[in-house]
């Protein structure tokens, strides 16, 4: 199964279950997340959702480039990010390991984040000729522009402790404390009035501006990049484990 789900005391845990592929996001994972969130949205017994990854290598390494190179339809991945962005109930991320690319963008759409100490975060898409189109381009809303640009233009990773200092995440804990700490935070949220929690989330997130309108140009640019020679070269180079030879077109 591409994801695992477990509902316990009002907290639904969604685990991306592709540890052999560093929990990379393919069409099956995307569609499974969409389905799980739709069910959770309509389920009165689900008060809070926690997203995490299986294994100890990655929360998610991002878009599955091998699937992209093979021509798989990855539109469900983008739709899953939209489903996360529009989900009305509280979303928490338990970042168990590397949180990169699309995994980082998934994390950004969560409301509260707990991470294992030393975990690398980052947006390495530019190194593969791609754009952090699922929300990474909205990073200047969360960080000073110069910092956001350095992260976006270099694609270099940074540790959880830096993410905490910048205010991108809420807690950094030892590995053995990750799920207990995240579930405790989830329980504290779920103990509050659900209507008040939903209204607070809706109003606070509205301060980020019209995300739907802002992401329109991002998806347009992403479409251009995915059709470019550079994107094809990047995915081929990734599959062949070699450095890409950029063509600039």
| Residues classed as catalytic | 105, 125
Alpha-carbon distance values, 138 to 105, 132, 165, 200, 213 (Å): 10, 9, 19, 21, 12
Paired tokens of 163: 């993410």
What backbone phi and psi angles, to 5 degrees, belong to 9? 55, 45
As a whole number of angstroms, the distance between CA 238 and CA 236 comes to: 5
As a whole number of angstroms, the distance between CA 114 and CA 212 comes to: 27
In contact, 84 and 77? CB cutoff 8 Å: no
As a whole number of angstroms, the distance between CA 111 and CA 136 comes to: 15
Which residues neighbour 242 within 8 Å (Cβ) at sequence distance 6 or greater?
Answer: none
**Count of helices and strands (H, E) across the chain:** 10, 10
Which residues neighbour 187 within 8 Å (Cβ) at sequence distance 6 or greater?
Answer: 9, 11
As a whole number of angstroms, the distance between CA 13 and CA 3 comes to: 10
């Amino acid at each position: 199964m591409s994801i695992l789900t477990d509902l316990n005391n009002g907290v639904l845990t969604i685990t991306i279950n592709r540890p052999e592929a560093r929990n990379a996001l393919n069409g099956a994972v995307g569609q499974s997340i969409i389905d799980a969130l739709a069910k959770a949205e309509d389920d009165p017994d689900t008060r809070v959702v926690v997203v995490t990854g299986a294994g100890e290598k990655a929360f998610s390494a991002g878009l599955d480039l091998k699937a992209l190179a093979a021509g798989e339809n990855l539109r469900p991945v983008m739709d899953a990010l939209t489903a996360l962005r529009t989900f009305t109930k509280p979303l928490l991320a338990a970042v168990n390991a590397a949180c990169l690319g699309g995994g980082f963008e998934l994390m950004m759409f969560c409301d509260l984040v707990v991470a294992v100490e030393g975990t690398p975060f980052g947006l390495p898409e530019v190194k593969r000729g791609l754009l952090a189109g699922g929300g990474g381009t909205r990073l200047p809303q969360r960080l000073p522009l110069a910092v956001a640009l350095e992260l976006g233009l270099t694609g270099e990773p940074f540790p959880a402790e830096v993410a905490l200092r910048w205010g991108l995440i809420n807690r950094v804990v030892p590995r053995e404390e990750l799920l207990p700490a995240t579930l405790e935070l989830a329980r504290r949220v779920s103990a509050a009035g659900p209507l008040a929690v939903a209204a607070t989330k809706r109003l606070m997130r509205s301060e980020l501006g019209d995300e739907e309108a802002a992401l329109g140009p991002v998806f347009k640019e992403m479409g251009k990049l995915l059709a470019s020679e550079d994107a094809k070269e990047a995915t081929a180079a990734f599959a062949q484990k070699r450095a890409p030879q950029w063509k600039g077109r």
